[in-house]
Structure formats: C-alpha cells, structure tokens
Amino acid sequence: MSPLLIDSISHGPRKKLALLVDPDKYKSIRNVDLSEKSGIDYIFVGGSLLSKGNFSKCVDELKKSSKLPLIIFPGNIDQIDPRADGLLFLSLISGRNAENLIGKHVMAAPILKKTSIEILPTGYMLIDGGKITTAAYISNTIPIPADKADIASCTAMAGEMLGLKLIYMDTGSGALSHVPLNMIKEVKKNISIPLIIGGGIRTPEDAYSICSAGADMIVIGTIGEEAPEVIGQIAKAVHYEQTTVKNTGI
Ligand code: 1GP
C-alpha cells in the first residue's frame, strides 16, 4: 500500500492540526465537530495510561462519527485496532529505555503485519514542559531539558539518519508549557522530515507561533476537552488564516 498519510503530512502548502482523543476522556469531546469542515486534519487516538478499557469502543465511535483520518498514537501494544487508518510507530528516541526504543515494536510488528494500517515510523521526543507528565513517568525516561535545543536537534538528526519518517516533539499531555520556540527552530533547521509539536498548546497564539517557528503539524488534546470552542480558532491559526490571527492579537 502506498504511504498516503506520510505523503499528506509531508506535502501541501498547509500546516496540519491533529486533535488527540484520550479514550479515557472520550465523553468530554463527544459533541465536538469532527467533520472535514472543522479545520481538524487528523484525529489521533491513544494514551500513555488507559484505565477504562474502551480503546476499541472509542475507535469504533470515531470511525462512525468522522471521516477524518484516524491515527493511533499508542501508549502500549494493546492500542492497536485494524479500523484505524494509520499508527505512529513511535520510537522514544529522547529516552534510553530499550522497551520504548525497540522492544514493544518487536511485539507489535506481527500484529500490525496482519492489518492494513499505514505505519508511520516516528522519532518521539519528550521535552520538559514544567512538570512530570504521565508520558514521562510511564515511559520511565528523562525528558530533554527545555533549554537544551542542541540535544533536541542532535536527537532529531539521529532519528532522521536512522530512517524515521516523522519527528514528534511533545511536552506531554497537560504540560505547563509547550516546546520552546527556539528549540523548534533549531530542530527544524537540521532535519528534512516533517516536525510534529504537541503538549501544552492552548491558544491560537501558541499555535501560530509554533507553526511559524517550524512545526508542520501541531497536536492538541487537553484544550479540546476543556474548551472545545477554541479548536476552530486554533485550526485557523494553524492554517495561517491571517485575518483571524490578527484579530486574536498576534
Ligand atoms: C500529548 O501532544 C499531546 O501527547 C497533547 O497535549 O493535552 O497538552 O494538548 P495536550
């Protein structure tokens, strides 16, 4: 199968917006507009720790209620569902935990091989966003310090040299701050694969400045649960609809 999602992420004039749906908190976004008119480009589904056992039910409901591409952002190998369009095959390259670098992938590979889910090989980098997030705690890794753009840049370069197709820098869900702009600029300067930025993005202003710094896609989760009315404004900022951005004071 041709890599449709990788192509759609890599090409085209527009930056992209992904809405992360945490199956444990699915109820809070049930009324969110997930149509193609919403400005959301992709739905990500998954979580570092799922306690309600409703991952498949959530995938089922999302597939029934939206035509947007559904990409699994897995916290573990039990988060695989053949109805998804894609899966971020995450290697946690900011950490030194072998299970998250390659171990879980070995377990998941034969399961994924039996599906037609598009595999998106992704260098996943946790960045310190001001507090210990579930992702950092559960993965048992130390995030890259926020003032170490050089470490982030070298890590992303190594990920690209290893053949990974995307770099995803994340301060983790509910982080106090997003990935610093100077770090995004430094990483973007040194890689040629698409750069995804997530964690702690709460306003159209954040989204606009992160995209201007070099992000090709941003991921929002918490703000979608807490203030779904902001999603549309963030989408406009990501897609560089200048009128809206000016009106929001950027
Ligand atoms: C976390 O990047 C996502 O992996 C989303 O983070 O919930 O802070 O928006 P938020």
Q: In the prediction, which pLDDT does 130 show?
A: 97
CATH superfamily of 5-244: FMN-linked oxidoreductases (3.20.20.390)
* Ligand 1 residue neighbourhood (C-beta within 6 Å): 20, 170, 172-175, 198-201, 219-223
**What gap in Å lies between CA 71 and CA 189, rounded to an integer?**
27
- Which atom of ligand 1 sits closest to the CA of residue 44? 3
Separation of CA 174 and ligand 1 centre (Å): 6
**What gap in Å lies between CA 44 and CA 17, rounded to an integer?**
10
- pLDDT single digits (tens) 150-175: 999 999 999 999 999 999 999 999 99
- pLDDT single digits (tens) 86-110: 999 999 999 999 999 999 999 999 9
Q: In the prediction, which pLDDT does 2 show?
A: 61
Q: Given pLDDT bands bounded at 50, 70 and 90, which one contains residue 3?
A: confident
Three-state DSSP class for residue 216? coil
- Which atom of ligand 1 sits closest to the CA of residue 199? 6
Ligand 1 pocket, mutate which of 26, 40, 173, 223 (most atoms under 8 A from CB)? 173
Are β-strands 217-220 and 16-21 bridged in parallel, bridged antiparallel, or unpaired? Answer: parallel
Q: In the prediction, which pLDDT does 249 show?
A: 55
**What gap in Å lies between CA 47 and CA 10, rounded to an integer?**
24
What average pLDDT does range 182-190 have in this prediction? Answer: 98
pLDDT at 52 over 60: yes
The average confidence (pLDDT) of the chain is 94
**What gap in Å lies between CA 111 and CA 219, rounded to an integer?**
26
Q: Given pLDDT bands bounded at 50, 70 and 90, which one contains residue 250?
A: low
Q: Which of 28, 91, 26 is nearest to 56 (CA)?
A: 26
- Which atom of ligand 1 sits closest to the CA of residue 174? 8
What average pLDDT does range 4-15 have in this prediction? Answer: 88
- pLDDT single digits (tens) 187-219: 999 999 999 999 999 999 999 999 999 999 999
Enumerate long-range contacts of 102-111, CB under 8 Å, 24 or more apart.
104/76, 104/77, 107/77, 108/74, 108/77, 108/80, 111/77, 111/80
Cα angle, residue 85 at apex, residues 63 and 240 outer, rounded to 5°: 90
Spatial neighbors of 184 by CB under 8 A, at least 6 apart, are 169, 195, 197, 210, 213, 214, 215
